[in-house]
Structure 1
Amino acid sequence: MPGGVRTVARVRISHVVWDWNGTLLDDNNAVLAAVNAVCVEFGRADLTWPEWQAVYARPMRVSYEQILQRALDDEEWARVDKLYHERYDALLHTCGLATGVPDELRLWGESGRTQSLLSMWFHARLTPTIDQFGLTQYFSRVDGLVGDVGGGSKAESLIRHLEAQSLDPADVVLIGDVVDDANAAAAAGTQCILVTTGAMTRTALETTGLPVTNSVTEALRLIES
């Protein structure tokens, strides 16, 4: 189908697992500023958004090793992660919700189906932020990263997230903005729809062979079609 968009193979979807950063939250400007805070600290020139998208990968350490052109040991990676999140947190107040949010979340819930949120952002920061945006009411469960250093894959977290809710993966679709979401969905046995609103280019997302859409609204319409 033109543009890389195709319908979801199964229409019996009763639950959506949402990604947060870059999917429901429009935080690209804060992300780039935080990445460039790391660049400054390590003596590297600032990146543009397309340059960051070109190197984005998980685990995140791989991305930073590419832009800094050096291997990072565990201590250095912890420093990078800390620098990034300090700058990101300072700019979080400038971020808004993605187009279609919260209306689409409300409509999905009113249809009698359920939804939850799984993020690889720190849980202690995630939950109050979602609450500040008035979104907590829409989710049956919210899970973020537990730990001090981020940047890992979502696969194991998604499996635990589904098990905690006794969800059948066949009835679930994960909606996210990066290839790691696709990989996590494959590992957990769920379907997946990707949106072009976040950290990866459409070209990169289309390599997964999964549906790729331009917005949360378009993603949900695929499920309903």
Structure 2
Amino acid sequence: MNVTPTIDHIVWDWNGTIFGDSRALIDATIDAFAACGMAPITRADYQRHHMQPITEFYNRLVGRRLTDREQADLDRSFHEAYARHRARVTLTGDAAEALELWAGTGKTQSLLSMYPHERLLPLVHEAGIAHHFTRIDGTDGIEIVRKAPHLRRHLEHLGLPAERVLIVGDSVDDCVAARECGVHCVVYHAGEDALHAREHFAELDVPIVPSLREVLDRLSHDGDLLAVRALSPETPVVAAVPGE
């Protein structure tokens, strides 16, 4: 591959990007709301209202501010349901190919996730892809509700100039983190199973691709992918609810 020299390193997101669990996350949330006696929600409701932090997302789904007890019950029920749904989850269809292609360029890549680190590592090793990453970071038990500070620490450990780094993720929070840390960003959108409605990205001015392989194809052949600079501080970052 004749890869543009603009990018030396890719930071991959895990949930919903490399690990194809977006439908499992949605289904686990639907199950959690049912288990807690909340009004039923649909996949469209999830995508319409999805945002970080998750506590605010739950408030939006219900249409009111939940109590601490209600939030705790939903959190517990979600993790129980997600553990069931995760059993059927595999890597995103072309994730292994994309990782191999980038490794073949001689450039580097790492993994950054909001998933707890001690749970993340076994999943990555079981998937047989850990060898591709120069660093793997999940969260470490300290409450982190936004990805930006997590990404900042990740970049500090890597010691790479931000302007030569690309983050590939599937959420508005990935875009916000990219903006705050000065790195490039590409959004992978999984179509009908995506966590966000596509309209959430309309004001963020980042490239959106339907596959991970396309990230590599466009880095190789189309400089326009990175013609969108790292997001400026003036860029809106709130995930608007489509239609509001």
TM-score above 0.5, yes or no: yes
Q: How does 1:115-130 map to 2 (within 5 A)?
A: 115-130=109-124
Matching of residue 72 in structure 1 with residue 66 in structure 2:
yes
Match of 1:39 in 2: 33
Asked if structure 2 preserves the Cα contact closer than 8 Å seen for 1:174 and 1:192, the reply is yes
From 137, 144, 157, the equivalent of 2:131 is 137
Q: How does 1:1-225 map to 2 (within 5 A)?
A: 12-147=6-141, 152-197=145-190, 198-224=194-220, 225=222
Matches of 2:83 and 2:17 in 1, distance apart?
Answer: 18
Deviations 1:53-111 (A, max 9, x none): 10100111111012223313444433322221221122212001112120110110111
How many matched pairs? 215
Q: 2:137 is paired with a residue of what secondary structure?
A: strand
Structure 1 outlier segments of 4+, above 6 Å: none
Match of 1:5 in 2: none
CA apart distance, 1:190:
0.3
Query: Relative contact order (alpha carbons < 8 A, sep ≥ 6): 1 or 2 greater?
Result: 1
CA apart distance, 1:15:
0.3
Cα distance, 1:162–1:149 mapped onto 2, change above 3 Å: closer
Q: 1:102 is paired with a residue of what secondary structure?
A: helix
RMSD: 1.7
Percent identity between the two aligned chains: 33
Q: 1:117 is paired with a residue of what secondary structure?
A: strand
Q: 1:25 is paired with a residue of what secondary structure?
A: coil
Matches of 2:197 and 2:140 in 1, distance apart?
Answer: 28
CA apart distance, 1:149:
5.8
Unaligned stretches of 5+ in structure 1? 1-9
Counterpart of 1:161, as a letter, is H
Cα distance, 1:183–1:190 mapped onto 2, change above 3 Å: same
Matches of 2:200 and 2:129 in 1, distance apart?
Answer: 30
CA apart distance, 1:148:
7.1
Matches of 2:27 and 2:117 in 1, distance apart?
Answer: 22
> Structure 1 length as normaliser, TM-score?
0.89
Q: 1:18 is paired with a residue of what secondary structure?
A: strand
Asked if structure 2 preserves the Cα contact closer than 8 Å seen for 1:194 and 1:219, the reply is no
> Structure 2 length as normaliser, TM-score?
0.82
Matches of 1:85 and 1:118 in 2, distance apart?
Answer: 20
Q: 1:43 is paired with a residue of what secondary structure?
A: coil
**Larger deviation: 124-133 or 28-37?**
28-37
Counterpart of 1:201, as a letter, is A
Matches of 2:203 and 2:97 in 1, distance apart?
Answer: 30
Unaligned stretches of 5+ in structure 2? 223-244
Counterpart of 1:210, as a letter, is V
